[in-house]
Amino acid sequence: MKLSNTSTIVTGGAGGLGEAVVRAVVAAGGHAVIADLADAKGEALAVELGDAVRYVRTDVLDNDTVQGAIAAAGELAPLRYAVTAHGGWGVAEKIVQRDGSPAGLEGFTKTLDLYLTGTYNVLRLTAAAIATSEPDTADGQRGAVVTTASIAAYEGQMGQSAYAAAKAGVAGLTLVAARDLAAVGIRVVCIAPGTMRTPIMESVGAEMLEKFGAAVPFPKRLGRPGEFGDLAVHALTNTYLNGETIRLDGAQRFQPR
């Protein structure tokens, strides 16, 4: 399958990994909907990339705004693809605090809502829309969805129980979703990135960036958002890649802390 003459919805598309996906989609000749809540960044990116891109304010937990992104994608070109790369929230909290009190429940549920429920909501709604299109290949392919987990799904660090549980849920969803959507010709692939040099990560400063990079076996640096974008485009278009979670981490394995 090709990205040319198709549209892709990218949640979290205004910055970080999502922005890299939007740029990679456009570079491959596709159209993209930047589905995000960061209005200024999303609108600026849409202006920069031109007619192939549209920004749509989208809350991944709100059905109406997700449907709005789906409608906008259909106006650009036939919707074939979606990538869930939204984020921007996290809570660092041990299950039992130093004073003996339990961790709060609100942070845990909010994290699961954003990363897991939000991913599922976008997956189910975009897949239903893609399923209405005609197959694009002789073997019945209609499109694909790429989701984003994290290597924390496998080696969550201390204080990461909420994030690790949410991302493990996204990884665990992958094969089931691929099996469910096989009947309508839609593939599902998950990417589990390691430590990526996103704008949020860069805010920690040069000393911490160097420390994080030194923990990666090879290459000894943080991952580049463009590398994530390139892998997402490959996953969207490789017609035999399905039901798999791919680690993108330079062979990194998180330590307990």
Please report the pLDDT score of residue 138 as a whole number: 87
- 257 occurs within a structural domain: no
In the predicted model, what is the mean pLDDT of residues 93-121?
Answer: 96
Give the separation between CA 55 and CA 73, rounded to whole angstroms: 10
Helical H segments across the chain, by residue range: 16-27, 39-49, 63-76, 105-112, 118-130, 152-155, 161-181, 199-202, 206-214, 225-237
- pLDDT, one tens digit per residue, over 221-247 is 999 999 999 999 999 999 999 999 999
Annotated active-site positions, please? 163
Contact call for residues 66 and 119 (beta carbons, < 8 A): no
Residue 89, domain CATH: 3.40.50.720
- 125 occurs within a structural domain: yes
Give the separation between CA 233 and CA 249, rounded to whole angstroms: 17
- 212 occurs within a structural domain: yes
Grade residue 199 by pLDDT with cuts at 50, 70 and 90. Answer: confident
- pLDDT, one tens digit per residue, over 74-98 is 999 999 999 999 998 888 999 999 9
- 79 occurs within a structural domain: yes
pTM, two decimal places: 0.95
- 256 occurs within a structural domain: no
Q: Which domain holds residue 154?
A: 7-248
Please report the pLDDT score of residue 201 as a whole number: 80
Grade residue 40 by pLDDT with cuts at 50, 70 and 90. Answer: very high
In the predicted model, what is the mean pLDDT of residues 144-162?
Answer: 96
122-131, 205-214, 248-257: which is most confident = 122-131
Judge whether residue 56 has pLDDT over 90.
yes
- 85 occurs within a structural domain: yes
The domain tally of the chain equals 1
DSSP state, residue 134: P
